[in-house]
Chain A
Amino acid sequence: MEGIGLTHFLVVGLVVFALGLYTVLTRRNAIGILMGIELILNAANINYVAFGRYAGVAADGQVFAIFVIMLAAAEAVIGLAVVLGIYQNFESIDVEATDALRY
C-alpha cells in the first residue's frame, strides 16, 4: 500500500460534506438540520487539516480548524437557542411546521 495521501482525506471530507448536505436538505427535524450543518463544517475542517498537512504549513490548517470548531460551537448554541424559540412558538421542531411566513 502507498501511503495515505491527500486525496484520501479529500474524499473523506467530500463524503462527510455530502452526507451533511443531504442531512441538511432532507431532515425535517430542526436539530437534525443542525447536525447536518455540523457535519458540513467538520468536512471543511478535514479539508483544512489535510491541506495543512500535505500542501502547506500544517499549523495554518490546524489553526483554521480550531477557528471553525469554535465558530461551529457558537453557531450551534445560537441555532439551538433558535430551535428552542421555535419550539416555544410552534410546539414542534418540525421545520415544515414553521411556515407562518408562507404567502
Chain B
Amino acid sequence: MEITEVGYLRWIPLLPLVGAAVNGVAGAVIQRRLGKRAISVLAVTPVLLAFALSVQTFLDLRALAPEQRFLLDRVMPWLHVGTLVADIAFWVDPLACVMLLVVTGVGGLIHVYSTGYMHEDASYWRFFAFLNLFTFAMLTLVLGDSLLLMFVGWEGVGLCSYALIGFWWREHVNTTAGNKAFIVNRIGDFGFLLGILLLFWSTDAAGHGSVVFRELQEHASVLAGQTLWGVPVVVLVTLLLFVGATGKSAQIPLYVWLPDAMQGPTPVSALIHAATMVTAGVYMIARLHFLYALAPATLAVVAGIGAATALLAATIGLVQNDIKRVLAYSTVSQLGYMFVAMGVGAWSAGIFHLMTHAFFKACLFLGAGSVIHGLGGEQDMRRMGGLRTRMPVTFWTFLVATLAIAGAPLTAGFFSKDEILWKAFSSPHGSALLWLVGVAVAGLTACYMFRQLFLTFFGESRADHEVLHHAHESPPSMAVPLVLLAAGSLLAGFVGLPQALGGANRFEAWLAPVFAHGHAAVAHAASHGPHEVELELTLMAVAIGVAITGFLVAFVLYQRRSVPVAALADVLGGIPYRVLLNKYYVDELYQAVFVRGTLLLSRLGAWIDATIIDGVVDGSARLTALAARLNRLFDDYVVDALVNFCANRTYDVGLRLRRVQTGGINAYLYVIVGTVAFVLIARLM
C-alpha cells in the first residue's frame, strides 16, 4: 500500500499531552495565581488545535486517491527486540480519521462544557489535567500504528478513567467505582495482551512476525491453518482480543464497571463512558477486521454477546431511577448494537453507529449534567419533573437526542441503527434472530429513553422546594455544546443515508477502501435489487413501528399516568422488578465469587507463607537449637560423667591405700623386715 509520510500527525495526541503535563505539574500553582480561566485556556486549546489538525487530516486524505489514503508519521523507534519491531508511529486511514474527528470534536465540545460544569470545583486543574491526558491516550489508541502502541493508549484511557471516576476521591463510593473500572478493564486487558502475544508468534512462525497493523493486514493469510490446543489460531486471537473489547466496551461479562462509573463527574461520563473510551473495543475490531473476517466462529460470538448485552442492559435501564444510570445502561446497550454490527461483518455500519452514538449520547449525558447542575446535584429522577419550562435549552436538546437514540426517522440514530438492523438480517453472518433481538431492544430503548424524558422534564415537579427554586438553565459554556451536539444528532446521519432511501451512503463509501479486504472475505450482498430494497424498507418500517410502541408505552405510563405505575409495579413487579432494579444481581455474584474468592486465596497464600513455609524455616531453626541443647546434655551427662567417674574412682583407691600410713614406727619396721625377708627368700628360690 502506498503511504504518505507526514510530520504533523504526532501533534494531534501530543498537544493534549503537553496540556496534561503543564496542568498536572503546575496546575495548582497556575490556578492559584492566574485563576481558573488560565487553566481552561491551557486545557481547551490543545484539544481544539487537535481538532483543527484532524480536519486537516481529513482534507489531506480526501485529496488522495481512495486506495492510497494512508498518512504515516514516524516519531521514533521504540522497541526492536529479536523479530519484534514496534515504533512510536502514528498513522491515519479513513477509519482512523472518523475516530479522530469524533474524539477531538466531541471531546473538544465536552472540554468546553466542563469549563462551566466544573467551575465551582477546587481541583479544577486536576480535572483538566486528566481530561487532557485522557484525550492524549485515546488519540494514541486511535492513531497508533501497532497493537502495542494501541495497547499503551488502551491502558492509558483506563488509567484516566480510574482517575476521573474517582475524581472526588474523598468519597469511598467513588474510589471503589474507580477501582472497579480499572480492575475489570485489566481483566479485559489480560485477554487483549494474550491475543497480541499469540498473534505475534503465529505470524512470526511464518516469517512475518509483526504487531504493526498494515503489516498484519498484508500477511493475515499466513494464519490460516495454524492451530493451538486444537483451536484455529485466528479464532483464538480474535476471541482473546474480543475479551479485551468486552472489558473496554462494557459487554457481557465485563460490563459491570460502567454503571458504577457514573460516580464520576458527568462530563467524564459523557466523554469517556459514552463517546470515546468505550468505543475503543469497536474500533479495535474494525481495525482488525481482516482477522475477524477469517474467524466466523468469533464473529458469531461477538454478535451473540453484543445482542445479549444490548437486551440485558435495555431491560435493566427500564427501571433505573438515577438519571445517569439509565444513560449508562443505555450506553452498554447501544454498544451491544455496535458489536452486533461487527459480528455480522457490517464494519462501517458499526462505526457509523459509533459516530452517531457519540453525538446523541454525549448530548444526553451533557443534558443530564445540565439538569444535575441546575438542580444543585439531584440525580434521582423520582425527584425531578417539570423542567421543560425551567431549562428549555436542555429540554430541547435532550428531546432531539432522545429521538435520535430511539431511532426516530431522519435523526442520525435512525440511519445508523437501521443500517445495523438491516445488516444483521441480511448479512451472511447475520440471522433473523439477531434482527429480532435488535428490534426488541429498539423498542425497549424508545421506552426507557422516553420514560426518562417524561420523568425528568414533564409533569409536576417532584423536586424539593428549595431545589426547584434555584433550578436554572445552564450557562452558555454548557448550553452551546449541547446545541451543537443536538445538531449533530440530527444531521450527522445524512452522511450515511442508505441507498434504499435514495442516498449515496457517503459514509460507507468513505470507509470502503479500509474494509475492502474484509468485504472480500465476507461476501456481502452488494446488489440492491428491488427485492432487497423492498425487504429493507419493510424491516425499517417494522423497526419504526416497534419504536413507536415503546414510545407509547412510556407515554402512557409516565406521561399520561393512565395506568398508575405503582399498581403496575405491584402486578408485574415484585420479583421481576427487583431483579431488574438490582441488575440481575450480577454485581453481587461477581463480588461473592471473584472478589471474595480472590481475597480468600490471598489470605490463604499469606497463611501458607507465614505458617507453613516460615514454619519450616523457623522449625529448622528450632530443631537446630534443640540439637544444640541435646548436644550440651550429652556433653554434660555423658562425656563429663566419664571424666568425673575416673577422678572419683582414683580418689576412692587413694582413700583405701592411704591406710598404710599408720604413722606408727612398729608397723613400718614390720613392713621393712617383711619385705627384706620376702626378697631374700625369693632370691634363694
Contact = CB atoms under 8 A, between A and B. Distances in A.
Interface stretch (A3-11, A49-57, A65-73, A95-103): A95-103
Interface in B660-684: 660-666, 669-670, 673
Nearest to B660: A103
Contact of B666 (A21, A25, A100, A102): A25
A103 B660 CA distance: 8
Nearest to A28: B666
Contact of A24 (B660, B661, B662, B669): B669
B663 A101 contact: yes
Interface in B630-680: 658-666, 669-670, 673
B663 A25 contact: no
Interface in A26-76: 26, 28, 33
A29 to B, nearest CB: 11
A102 to B, nearest CB: 3
Contact of B661 (A28, A96, A98, A102): A102
B673 A99 contact: no
A80 B661 CA distance: 24
Contact of A25 (B658, B660, B670): B670
Contact of B664 (A21, A24, A26, A95): A95
A77 to B, nearest CB: 19
Contact of A95 (B660, B661, B665, B673): B665
A7 B181 CA distance: 141
**Among A24, A26, A28, A33: residue with most chain B CB under 10 A:** A24
A34 B504 CA distance: 163
A86 to B, nearest CB: 10
Given A95-B664, A98-B664, A103 B658 contact: yes
A26 B664 CA distance: 12
Interface residues of B, number: 12
B673 A96 contact: no
B669 A100 contact: no
A78 to B, nearest CB: 15
Nearest to B658: A103
A21 B673 CA distance: 9
B673 A33 contact: no
A33 B661 contact: no
**Among B659, B666, B673: residue with most chain A CB under 10 A:** B666
Contact of A99 (B658, B664, B670): B664
Contact of B665 (A21, A98, A103): A98
A101 B661 contact: yes
Contacts of A33: 665, 669
Interface in B541-561: none
A68 B663 CA distance: 30
A95 B666 CA distance: 7
Contacts of B669: 24-25, 33
A25 B664 CA distance: 11
A103 B664 contact: no
**Among A26, A33, A98, A99: residue with most chain B CB under 10 A:** A99
A52 to B, nearest CB: 23
Contact of A102 (B663, B670, B673): B663
Contacts of A100: 663
A21 to B, nearest CB: 7
A40 to B, nearest CB: 11
A96 B658 contact: no
Given A21-B673, A25-B673, A96 B659 contact: no
Contacts of A28: 666
B649 to A, nearest CB: 19
A25 B660 CA distance: 17
Contacts of A102: 661-664
A101 B667 CA distance: 13
B452 to A, nearest CB: 122
A28 B666 CA distance: 8
Contacts of B659: 103
A102 B661 CA distance: 5
Contacts of A96: 664, 666
Nearest to B666: A95
A26 B673 CA distance: 13
B56 to A, nearest CB: 126
A95 B670 CA distance: 13
A96 to B, nearest CB: 6
Nearest to A103: B658
Given A25-B666, A100-B663, A102-B662, 15 more contacts: A24-B669, A26-B666, A95-B664, A95-B665, A95-B666, A98-B663, A98-B664, A98-B665, A101-B663, A102-B661, A102-B664, A103-B658, A103-B659, A103-B660, A103-B663
19 contacts: A25-B673, A26-B666, A33-B665, A95-B664, A95-B665, A96-B664, A98-B663, A98-B664, A98-B665, A99-B663, A99-B664, A100-B663, A101-B661, A101-B663, A102-B662, A102-B663, A102-B664, A103-B659, A103-B661
A-B interface, 7 closest residue pairs, ranked by CB to CB distance from nearest: A99-B663, A102-B663, A103-B658, A95-B665, A103-B661, A101-B663, A99-B664
